Amino acid sequence: MSMLTEFITNMNLDEFENYIMELHNNSEFEEPVDCREIPDIMPLADECFQIYRYEGVHYFYLKSKTVTVNNVVYYNSYVDAGSGVSGDHYPYYESYSNDYSISSDSRKMEVTYYCTKYLSQYVTDAKKYTIKHTYTAGED
């Protein structure tokens, strides 16, 4: 199922009506026009970068696209996720893979990071870690 189809089918009737009315109210057309001249009226997706910090300088991140409808932010699509650290601060987790799932209302995205723990620049503890974090659309 496409993200657009999922986005629309997960709305209740009031949300769908508000969505359609907002699209109608934002229309700049005063008289009928040839449909081939109508631009895409779906809200444009904004790039979003969210950070989950742990132990100060260490973090996991989520890159996604979001749309705003009636002042409510929704996830539109997943772009990327990973880990980072500011400077040489050990230990830290380095993500080598991840999975994600978007809630049925498209407001939350849970990311599962599969990680290795670095004890120093070239030394790991030889264990695999799974760390989950849930992000909320529109929140830092």
72 within 8 A of 98, measured Cβ to Cβ: no
How does 101-110 read in b/e, with b if 16+ C-beta sit within 10 Å?
A: ebeeebbbbe
Give the amino acid at 22: E
> Each residue of 12-57: pLDDT tens digit?
877 777 777 776 666 554 444 444 444 445 567 889 999 999 887 8
Q: Which pLDDT belongs to residue 39?
A: 46
At 9, is the secondary structure helix, strand, or coil?
A: helix
From CA 132, how far away is CA 114, in angstroms rounded? 9
- Does residue 61 or residue 85 have the better pLDDT? 61
From CA 26, how far away is CA 107, in angstroms rounded? 23
Show me where the domains of the chain are located. Answer: 3-136
Length of the chain: 140
> Each residue of 73-125: pLDDT tens digit?
999 999 999 999 877 788 999 999 999 999 999 999 999 999 999 999 889 99
Give the amino acid at 113: Y
